[in-house]
Amino acid sequence: MNLEELKKSMIEKLNNIEQLQTSDEKNLANEDLKEEVVKQLDKLNSIKNDFILKLNEVSNMKEINDIRIEFLGKKGPITELYSLIGSFDNEQKKQFGKLINNFKSTTTNVIEQFIKYFKEEEINQKLASEQIDISLPATKVSVGVPHVLEKLIEEIEEIFISMGYDVVDGPEVEKDLYNFEMLNIPKGHPARDAQDTFYIEGEEILLRSQTSPVQVRTMLKSLGKEPIRMICPGKTYRRDDDDATHSHQFVQIEGLLVDKDISLSDLKGTIDNVVKKLFSEDIKTRFRPSYYQFTEPSVEVDISCFNCKGKGCNICKNTGWITIAGAGIVHPNVLSMSGYDPKVWSGFAFGFGAERMAMLKYDINDLRVFYNTDLREIKIFDRKELNNND
């Protein structure tokens, strides 16, 4: 509502105030006072007209304040009206008093509305002068980004924790005993060729070439008595020259379940849960036979290509399938060496390559990206992918 509209509506309000009719017999019973009353009424009317006139001219806060003081002040005409009704008889006092009261409160209200209007007007003017250019660049409030591998690992951890697995840790400087021997790979075994290892002290201490020693450590800790469900994401090391597809340091995500009557199909079901969460619900899992010393039967785990859904593309090298893990039923020798009676207990173990998973998931084609850390590249990983799964 603008000022003119306000004025119009306020004046209308004032004009609508109930009038005392001089022709009303009842009110003017006392003839002596009739003239007096008419005089008063004229006066009131002239105050009102005067008020309306002034109101019509008002244009700012100061002026409305002046009007307020002029009309409603202690010496103002409205107060004066009260003093003049002393001579009226009771009924007339009542009638006339009501009339003045009504006039006063309406006037007060009208003035308040004008004050409110001018106050708002004042604020609006101030705000209008405070316009900014919202298109200017923001102040960067940045939260740190998880490392790509860590982002993936945390997603996987979350899934396994929800299935009752503990996330544990193990040493990177490890004993040959745990890294190889107790995994059914005795000294001099050809299986060691595939894992060209950094030895530290003779053939006894090494940089672990796989996270599988954590299986052994976990089993030894549980003393052959407790069922086990654990995963261990961790750094591993092999004597490889660093290039786009090789790294002397890489991350494996090891997993172990030891319980009773565990089968290969349980392993498949478990891996299904993980890949469906990680990639999408329509991902299929396939096992291919493989050979590892510490699992028997051993399998390679393929998933249907999440990119082309099996039609064939770059990522799956046109096969429709992608290998993501090695796994199998824990070898009875491994169980018994670590204190679990293979006649009572059985279990499965698996290992994912974190870099490989991340390369697949985020379409990265050079392993060195993970360890060079160009800060310009990592910002895109500061994002949750809430809508992709579930």
Partner 1 sequence: MISLEWVKDYIDISDEDLYELAVKITETGINVEKVITNKIDNLVVGKVIKCIPHPDSDHLKICQVDIKSEVLQIVCGAPNVKEGIKVIVALPGAVLPGNFSIKSSKIRGIESNGMICALFELGLEEKTDENYAKGIEILGDNAVIGSDPLVYLGIEDTIYELDIHKHRNNDCYYHIGFAYEIAAVLNKKVKLPDLSYNESEDNVNNYFKLEVKTDKCPYYLAKMVTNVEIKESPDFIKKRLLSVGMRPINNVVDISNYVMLEYGQPLHFFDKDTLGDKILVRDAKNEEKIVTLDGKERMLKDSDIVITDGEKPVCIAGVMGGQNTEVIETTKNILIESAIFDSVSIRYTASRLNLKSEASIRYGKGLSYEYTNMAINRACHLLEKYANATILSGIVSHDKIDKQPKTVEFYPIDVDKMLGIKIDEKDMKRELERLDFPYTIDNGKFIVTIPNRRLDIDSNINDIAEEIGRLYGYQKIVSTQPNVSIRCGKYVGDVKYRKEISKRLRSLGLNEVKTYTLISPSMSDIFDYEEKENIHLPNPMSVDKSIIRTSLLPSLLNVYNYNKTRKVNDINIYEIAKIYDKNYVEESKIAFLMSGKYIFNSWKESINVDFYLIKGIVENILDYLGFKNRYSFIKSDVKDLHPGISADILLDHNRIGILGRIHPKICKDEVFVCEISLNSLMSKVKPIKYKELSKYPSINKDVSFIVDKDITSEQIEKVIKSSGGRLLTNVEVFDVYVGNNLKENQKSIAYSLTFNDPNRTLNEKEIMILFNKIIKEVETKLNAELRDK
- Map residues 193-222 to x or -, x wherever contact with partner 1 holds by CB under 8 A: xx---xxxx---x-x---------------
Binding to partner 1 in span 120-139, by CB under 8 A: 136-139
Q: Does residue number 270 form part of the binding site for partner 1 (CB under 8 A)? A: yes
Give CA–CA dist 88/140, Å, rounded.
77
**Which tokens belong to 110?**
């009208």
Using CB under 8 A, pick the residue from 283, 329, 360, 367 that binds partner 1: 329
Closest CA to 157 of 214, 231, 218: 231
Closest CA to 179 of 210, 220, 202: 210
The count of other CB atoms within 10 Å of the CB of residue 323 is 17
65's enclosing H/E stretch is helix 61-72
> Least distance (Å) from partner 1 to the CB of residue 169?
5
- Comparing CB distances to partner 1, the nearer of 54 and 284 is 284
**Which tokens belong to 276?**
């469906």
Total residues contacting partner 1 by CB under 8 A comes to 90
Using CB under 8 A, pick the residue from 122, 166, 243, 363 that binds partner 1: 166
Q: Does residue number 317 form part of the binding site for partner 1 (CB under 8 A)? A: no
Q: How many residues does the chain have?
A: 390
> Least distance (Å) from partner 1 to the CB of residue 198?
6
Binding to partner 1 in span 241-260, by CB under 8 A: 241, 248-249, 257, 259
Give CA–CA dist 93/97, Å, rounded.
5
- Comparing CB distances to partner 1, the nearer of 140 and 225 is 140
Using CB under 8 A, pick the residue from 253, 304, 346, 358 that binds partner 1: 346
Using CB under 8 A, pick the residue from 191, 220, 308, 364 that binds partner 1: 191
207's enclosing H/E stretch is strand 205-207
Q: CA angle 357-259-276, nearest 5°?
A: 30
> Least distance (Å) from partner 1 to the CB of residue 181?
13
- Map residues 286-315 to x or -, x wherever contact with partner 1 holds by CB under 8 A: xxxxxxxx--xxxx----------------
Q: Are the C-beta atoms of residues 257 and 228 closer than 8 Å to each other?
A: yes
Q: What are phi and psi of 54, to 5 degrees?
A: -65, -40
- Comparing CB distances to partner 1, the nearer of 56 and 373 is 373
- Comparing CB distances to partner 1, the nearer of 26 and 376 is 376
b/e sequence 26-38, b meaning 16+ C-beta within 10 Å? ebbeeeebeeebe
- Comparing CB distances to partner 1, the nearer of 106 and 270 is 270
Considering only CA atoms, give the Rg of the chain: 45
Give CA–CA dist 73/71, Å, rounded.
6
* CA within 13 Å, CB half, 220: 11
Give CA–CA dist 221/227, Å, rounded.
11
Q: Does residue number 189 form part of the binding site for partner 1 (CB under 8 A)? A: yes
- Comparing CB distances to partner 1, the nearer of 121 and 155 is 155
Determine the interface stretch with partner 1 among 23-31, 60-68, 149-157, 358-366 (rule: CB under 8 A).
Answer: 149-157
Binding to partner 1 in span 49-78, by CB under 8 A: none
Determine the interface stretch with partner 1 among 2-10, 51-59, 282-290, 303-311 (rule: CB under 8 A).
Answer: 282-290
